[in-house]
A and B are shown apart, each in its own frame.
Chain A
């Protein structure tokens, strides 16, 4: 019983399939249509209305949005009070990024270059679990830690280091009445929350350095520290930049951490939330939201030039 040839499909389903065989592009187009419609219309459409809103303004008397093109809202953004918010946020994002890189590097370095497969799996899970576990719970945990009767004060009193904590809290600007209401507290929690996003790309970049490269460097007479400085660091840099995209972007947009742990001075995220909320000033909120987008576009452009996207 040998096969015979049926020039025509035997049923309508087969004929339907024949169309895709003749025009493979059609199938791909049909595959792409739903996700592109969703992301293109809902997401990009929303981003566009956000941008649009930032060019509207709020009527000072009625408190309603005036749907007319104006740059007034952006001018308002540059007022000293609002500009302070932007500057404060960007500085915090820089500080958090640097701290996260410093803490993340040894973890990523150890896991990628020294750990055996079992330990490596453990490290991987050890980073993935905190990365994925509840954002709010993580903040809540720090509220417990930094509270007046919490574990930090208990430890400080137990070791008699009260004077040390007090002198740190007495520092201008970053200090405060307690850790929970100071910039230091905000900083610690932001580093904690976004740290895993720094570890993973660095580890990925380090994994890609072949052992032979390090052996070659040693063979050519470099001391281990020289190899680290001349070979490992430059090759890990794209990973660090990739990680910094996350930590920087996420810190800039965060409004919950500074609201719950920190001083009363606002960050961009809080400004966005407050203006769209009770104040109903969506135009100003939108203008504030455009700032992180603009900063990230510049940041991504620079990162792309350093080849950081390959490490994502």
Chain B
């Protein structure tokens, strides 16, 4: 239907330029990871080398930050999966008073600027005298990751027609059997996608983390330090490239897992 009309050249050009604007800066990161220049951000790079990868590989501070980031992202994702799925199951199952309020509450941590969530947690830790630790980072991350799982799960719950669950019960299945044989198989890809996105979100988060981390460094905090006070530009370049690759994989994965629903929405 769409093909019957032709887009004007100006529209096409501005659409393509817009997309290029979004992507070229990220591509530039890949170029800089291989530059031989280590004192400035010279363009074009005077030469190319792989030695920075080796140097980065041998940096214990990068590994420590990476390890903490993976730890935080894993635990936060698991918590978000549990909380988000429960919430989506309840909200999709029945119309009850305050449903809208619950949706709003779930979305709020990501709708308000990260700095609000950050300073809120910081002031709560201050009043309750909670010392900073990995746990305080996770508390913040899980809070804003819930919405990602929730959004994915609730979309799938809505497609999972209520009569499927009724049919399962009608055929003699207990609640647990219905969950195991009907709900979970239909929900699995949505949860996997939501979990991947939550992982990517947590792995990359910096604003809330600066308020809840104390002296510990996640990978984004390590990068932020380098951005404010550049000390090892080549190592930062390599880390930036690795971060791009690490976050792209779950996003692509999530996209392929939920492709059907995306397509049906836009057709």
Does A134 reach chain B (CB closer than 8 Å)?
Answer: yes
Assess whether B123 is in contact with A53, with CB atoms less than 8 Å apart. yes
Assess whether B251 is in contact with A128, with CB atoms less than 8 Å apart. yes
Assess whether B11 is in contact with A143, with CB atoms less than 8 Å apart. no
Assess whether B115 is in contact with A196, with CB atoms less than 8 Å apart. no
Residues on B with beta carbons closer than 8 Å to the beta carbon of A196:
22
**Which of A80-88, A101-109, A167-175 interfaces with chain B?**
A101-109
Assess whether B123 is in contact with A286, with CB atoms less than 8 Å apart. yes
Does B184 reach chain A (CB closer than 8 Å)?
Answer: no
Assess whether B11 is in contact with A133, with CB atoms less than 8 Å apart. no
Q: Which residues A265-303 have CB closer than 8 A to chain B?
A: 269, 272-273, 276, 282, 285-286, 289, 292-293, 296
Does B161 reach chain A (CB closer than 8 Å)?
Answer: no
Assess whether A42 is in contact with B143, with CB atoms less than 8 Å apart. yes
Assess whether B200 is in contact with A17, with CB atoms less than 8 Å apart. no
Assess whether A134 is in contact with B19, with CB atoms less than 8 Å apart. no
- Choose among A116, A141, A286 the residue with the greatest number of B CB atoms under 10 Å from its CB: A141
Q: What 9 A-B pairs come out closest when comparing CB atoms?
A: A253-B113, A110-B15, A46-B120, A147-B41, A31-B90, A141-B25, A106-B14, A35-B87, A114-B7
**Which of A68-76, A148-156, A230-238 interfaces with chain B?**
A148-156
Q: Chain B binding site: helix, strand, loop or mixed by DSSP?
A: helix
B84-108 vs A, CB cutoff 8 Å, 1 = contact: the mask equals 1011011001101000001001101
> Which A residues fall within an 8 A CB radius of B?
13-14, 17, 20, 24-25, 27-28, 31-32, 34-36, 38-40, 42-47, 49-50, 52-53, 103-104, 106-107, 109-117, 120-121, 123-130, 132-145, 147-151, 154, 192, 195-196, 199, 207, 211, 245-246, 249-250, 252-256, 259-260, 269, 272-273, 276, 282, 285-286, 289, 292-293, 296
**Which of B86, B127, B174 touches A35 (beta carbons < 8 Å)?**
B86
Interchain nearest-CB distance for A227 vs B (Å): 11
Q: How far is the CA of A133 from the CA of B15 in the complex (A)?
A: 20
Does B183 reach chain A (CB closer than 8 Å)?
Answer: no
Assess whether B83 is in contact with A35, with CB atoms less than 8 Å apart. yes
A-B contact pairs, 24 of them (CB 8 A): A20-B175, A35-B83, A38-B83, A39-B146, A40-B105, A43-B105, A43-B143, A47-B120, A107-B14, A110-B12, A114-B6, A120-B266, A133-B26, A134-B247, A138-B25, A141-B26, A144-B32, A145-B28, A154-B43, A195-B18, A254-B115, A256-B227, A269-B115, A286-B119
Q: How far is the CA of A273 from the CA of B113 in the complex (A)?
A: 13
Interchain nearest-CB distance for A66 vs B (Å): 14
Q: How far is the CA of A39 from the CA of B240 in the complex (A)?
A: 32
Assess whether B11 is in contact with A136, with CB atoms less than 8 Å apart. no
Interchain nearest-CB distance for A86 vs B (Å): 14
Does B60 reach chain A (CB closer than 8 Å)?
Answer: no
Assess whether B87 is in contact with A129, with CB atoms less than 8 Å apart. no
Q: Which residues B168-210 have CB closer than 8 A to chain A?
A: 174-176, 197, 200-201, 204, 206-207, 210
